[in-house]
Amino acid sequence: MNDDEPVLLHTEGHILHVTLNRPRALNALTHPMVRLLGEALTRAAADDTVTAVVVDGAGDRGLCAGGDIRSIYEDARAGRSASVDFWRDEYRLNAQIAAFPKPYVALMHGIVMGGGVGVSAHGDVRVVTERSRVAMPETSIGFVPDVGGTYLLAAAPGELGTHLALTGRAVGAADAVLCGLADHFVSSRHLAGLTAELARSTSPAQVTDIVRRYAADAPDGELAAQRAWIDECYAAGTVEEIIDRLMDSGLPAAKETAAELLAVSPTALKVTLAAVRRARRLSSLEAALDQEFRVSCRSFLGHDLVEGVRARIIDKDRTPRWSPAATGDVTDAEVARHFEPLGDQELGLSAV
């Protein structure tokens, strides 16, 4: 194991421990990291001496802040397509994690956003702590939730997933469990003990039992108390109707949410709403990933992703100039275009 490697692998007992190792970049994913993780999982699945895989992030700030947004910006500006190649392998990795035949334990401590959700929330043992902040914040940069995020959020109770998809808000441990993005709360002070005990496990059943013994009730979240207005407002048929309901609700929290939505990419909002609602009708994660790949490829060629990253990450002026600038100017035909098949460039996971 070399500490300079972007993904650290070491075996303790019967556990393969995988650490995303770019702490100064909040362990943001690069294409080599995606490939290394995929290769490690392939070997672990075939290795009878490996009982389970435990995934965490280097440093104490988070598991993973997502993909390398700056590189996507530079790629799009230069007219290259490396980002499309990255997404193709990343989404295949997401499906590989979901289908992994042994316990996949994700320690979702600290920041877990975008691609970080993709390498954790598709596992079957997902642990959050009091410092977890879990989000799919793509609309804030003119993008749409991916890495299977639309599939996960579509399955959340009521309209909670729609709320999180459109706003991109981060949630804590209790709300992550409520929305189906995590399974267990474990205090961060017990993570070292949990990891050490997992290393002594000798069967998949033992792995599950150990995590349950360390688990406790998470501190109270926020979403359960907000279900009434969230479900009522987000049940509307269009983004415009959702914003109107939020504005007219008379609740300060709902009005603040409307203001948030009015500040992000109108195109991203409309495509995200369509993506989540379409994902509800899909039969598998693989089908959702195929859909997300179409949307990501189309978004990559659009205006708002580059502009959103410029305003938020590059220039940091927080004043993106979206085009179109209003939801009413985003046509149904433009939304539908994001979901059109890609011909021989399809991801094709659901056809496998």
Known catalytic residues?
67, 115, 138, 146
* CB proximity list for 7: less than 8 A, separation 6 or greater: 18, 19, 20, 21, 33, 36, 37, 40
Q: Which residues pair with 228 in a beta bridge?
A: none
CB 158 within 8 Å of CB 231:
yes
CB 140 within 8 Å of CB 308:
yes
Report the candidate in 15, 25, 191, 245 with the shortest Cα–Cα distance to residue 114.
25
Give the torsion sign (CA, 7, 297, 106, 140): positive
* CB proximity list for 165: less than 8 A, separation 6 or greater: 136, 139, 145, 149, 150, 153, 272, 273, 275, 276
* CB proximity list for 327: less than 8 A, separation 6 or greater: 239, 240, 243, 266, 269, 270
